[in-house]
Amino acid sequence: MKRPVLTIVVPCYNEEEVLVETFRELRGVLNHLMQEHLIAVTSKLLFVDDGSKDRTWSMITTEHANHPEITGLKLARNVGHQKALLAGLEAAGAHSDCVISIDADLQDDINVIRDFVLKFHEGFDIVYGVRASRKTDTWFKRTSALTFYRIMTRIGIQLIPNHADFRLMSKRAVLELCRYGETNVFLRGIVPLIGYSMTKVYYDRKERFAGRSKYSLRKMLSFALDGIASFSVAPIRFVSSVGFILLMVSIAAGAYALIQKWFGETRAGWTSLMISIWFLGGLQLLGIGIIGEYIGKIFIEVKSRPKYAVEIDLYSNKFEPVIR
């Protein structure tokens, strides 16, 4: 049986508190898979430094000097989790038979990586790591996540519920992913569009080993809005529908006012007038804001700027100058 070359891609941003443990744990997984002859001995761990401000990159280079199977990709600046992950996938896809992506915080169960590889040997191109439950989340995070998935399903965006970015992709799946050229990257929505054979592996998520989550409430809301606006025009249609309904209500209210006038029963209605003005004004601003969100995304897309710039590439053993 041919042993596939596996690369495990780990995006990092200010992860110095967890990296020592992450190096040890993932090296152990890689070595066990090699000993079982499930992967090639040339398999690698690729840590993508997303413009960290702490010792993340120096720790990666030190570990690379001691353990050649640990490599790194240093981006010239912080571009965000999704683009950093995409940078790692694109680099690994050129040299690997399969690629696994996982966060550096050790919350995803690394023990199911073996199951991912076994599913790949069975012929699956994409293997999703799906949380069996969300019992480790707070009530707010659990409720907001379930609401997000319900909304995305309602507006026609096919996501894998309770799946983040813990997945295996075959070489051809990664190369197909690289053909999607949009600047607004939302991998959880793009990967299911590829359409190759897929399966799921369920696991229980653990508490973060150390450090703090980089996803604040503001970033989570921004991430959710990016996903919705990148894959669906449903919000614009919703505003159009509300506008049509209010038009019908306005016509009915106008007809009622005319009837009242004919019968001489009209009275001054300052309160109802002010409420109507504030309500319609707020609705108009909401509509303009939603449309503006889409226009902003079009503005970003049409410029076709590079998604990231690689400063140092230890994975391919080359140095890239900083793109200014």
Q: Are 60 and 75 in contact (CB under 8 A)?
A: no
Same domain flag for 196 and 290: no
Residue 109, classed as helix, strand or coil, is coil
What pLDDT, on the 0 to 100 scale, is given for residue 278?
A: 58
Same domain flag for 310 and 287: no
Share of the chain above pLDDT 70, in %: 65
Query: What value does the mean pLDDT take over residues 276-302?
Result: 69
Query: What value does the mean pLDDT take over residues 61-89?
Result: 91
pLDDT surpasses 60 at 4: yes
Label residue 125 by pLDDT band (50, 70, 90): very high
Same domain flag for 210 and 240: no
Mean pLDDT of the chain: 79
Gap between the Cα atoms of 10 and 22, Å rounded: 10
Same domain flag for 121 and 258: no
- Residue 220 within a domain: no
Of the candidates 234, 6, 14, 247, the residue with the CA atom closest to the CA atom of residue 127: 6
Label residue 113 by pLDDT band (50, 70, 90): very high
**Which segment of 97-101, 201-205, 233-237, 314-318 scores lowest on mean pLDDT?**
233-237
Domain span at 121 = 6-215+306-318
HEC readout, 272-319: HHHHHHHHHHHHHHHHHHHHHHHHHHHHHHHHCCCCCCEEEECCCCEE
Same domain flag for 103 and 208: yes
Same domain flag for 35 and 111: yes
Query: What value does the mean pLDDT take over residues 56-65?
Result: 93
Query: Pairing mode, if any, of strands 70-75 and 163-170?
Result: unpaired
- Residue 323 within a domain: no
- Residue 235 within a domain: yes
What pLDDT, on the 0 to 100 scale, is given for residue 295?
A: 74
Q: Which residues pair with 127 in a beta bridge?
A: 168, 199
Same domain flag for 33 and 117: yes
pLDDT surpasses 80 at 133: no
Residue 170, classed as helix, strand or coil, is strand
- CATH code, domain with 161: 3.90.550.10
Gap between the Cα atoms of 197 and 208, Å rounded: 31
- Residue 98 within a domain: yes
Q: 197-245, pLDDT tens digit by residue?
A: 999 999 888 765 555 655 555 666 666 666 665 666 566 666 666 666 7
- Residue 1 within a domain: no
Q: Are 1 and 35 in contact (CB under 8 A)?
A: no
Label residue 62 by pLDDT band (50, 70, 90): very high
Same domain flag for 49 and 165: yes
Alpha-helical runs (H) found in the chain: 16-35, 56-66, 81-93, 113-121, 139-154, 171-177, 187-194, 217-231, 234-262, 270-303
Backbone angles phi, psi at 228, to 5 degrees: -65, -50
Both tokens of 55, joined, read 């010792």
What pLDDT, on the 0 to 100 scale, is given for residue 254?
A: 63
Same domain flag for 123 and 198: yes
Same domain flag for 263 and 184: no
What's the pTM value of the predicted model, to 2 decimals? 0.72
What pLDDT, on the 0 to 100 scale, is given for residue 37?
A: 93
Backbone angles phi, psi at 104, to 5 degrees: -80, -10
- Residue 87 within a domain: yes
- Residue 225 within a domain: no
pLDDT surpasses 80 at 78: yes
- Residue 41 within a domain: yes
Q: Which of the pair, 105 or 244, is modelled with greater confidence?
A: 105
Same domain flag for 164 and 262: no
Domain tally for the chain? 2
